[in-house]
Amino acid sequence: MPKVLEVLEDALGKAGVYAPGETLEAADITSTMRESNRFISYCNTQRLLIYTIDPILYPLVPGDPFGTLGPGGTLGPVRPLKIEYANLVFNPGFKEFRWPLTITSEAQRTLIQVPSVTGPPTTIYPDNNIPLTRIYFYPVPDQAYGLELWQWQPLKEFTDETQDLIFPDGYDDFFVNTLAVRFATLYDRPINPEVQRLAKEAFAAVKGSNIVTPIMRTEPEFMSPGMGAGRGWYGGPFITR
C-alpha cells in the first residue's frame, strides 16, 4: 500500500515540480497535503467517487420523534455524508424483518397533518445540519425498532506523510494523476497533456466502477390488486437471518 509521501512525490514529479529522487521540502509537503485534502473533500461530495456505502444499524427509542447523528448524537457520534437508503428493522438481532423507509424532503415533511402520531415509522427526514444532523421519524416510533441507514463512507483525509493509504484498484492512479494536474496549477507550472489525459481516463474508470443499478420501488398506495401491495420491495416480506 502506498504512503501519503509516495503519492505526493509521484504527483509532484508528474507536475514537473520535483525531479525523481529529489527530497520534498517540509513546506511543500504541507501545502500539497492541504491541496490533496481539498480534492478529497470534493470527492466526498460525488456519489460516483465514493467506493463504500455501508449499512449501519441504530436503535430507536419509543416516543422520540427524532434522533441525532454527529458529535454527542443520540443515535451515533458520526454525521453521515449522505443517506442512500433506509430500512426499518423489526426484531433487531432476532429473525429480523426489514421494511424500506421513504426518505423525504423538508417540503414534504411540512405536509404531514399529524406529526405526533405513533406507530412503525414509514418515513424519515434528515435535515443534514452540521455538525449534528437530526433525523425525524413519521410516525413516531412506538417500539424499539432498529433504523438501518446505508451511508456514504468518506475517503479519508491525509493526516501526515507517513500515513498508509488503502485504496481499491484504480484509485492510486486516479489520485496521482489528478493531483499532478492540481499541483501544476498550484506551482504555476504548465500542465502536461499526457498527465491530463491519464487523469481523465482514471476519473472515468473510477466512476464506472462505482455505478450502481437503481432499485425500482413502488409505494403500496400506487400498486394495483394482486401486486402484493404492502408486502415489501418484491411483493413479499424482506426477511434476513
Confidence of residue 150 (pLDDT cuts 50, 70, 90): very high
Average pLDDT over residues 13-38: 96
71 secondary structure, DSSP code: T
pLDDT above 90 for 69: yes
pLDDT above 70 for 109: yes
CA of residue 17 relative to chain centroid, distance: 33
Residue 147's beta-bridge partner residues? 58, 88
Identify the residue whose cell numbers are 420523534: 65
Return mean pLDDT, the chain. Answer: 85
Residue pair 177/198 in contact by the 8 Å Cβ criterion:
yes
Confidence of residue 62 (pLDDT cuts 50, 70, 90): very high
Long-range contacts at 160-166 (CB < 8 A, ≥ 24 apart): 160/4, 161/3, 161/4, 161/5, 161/8, 161/29, 161/33, 162/3, 162/4, 162/5, 163/3, 163/4, 164/1, 164/2, 164/3, 165/1, 165/2, 165/3, 165/4, 165/7, 166/1
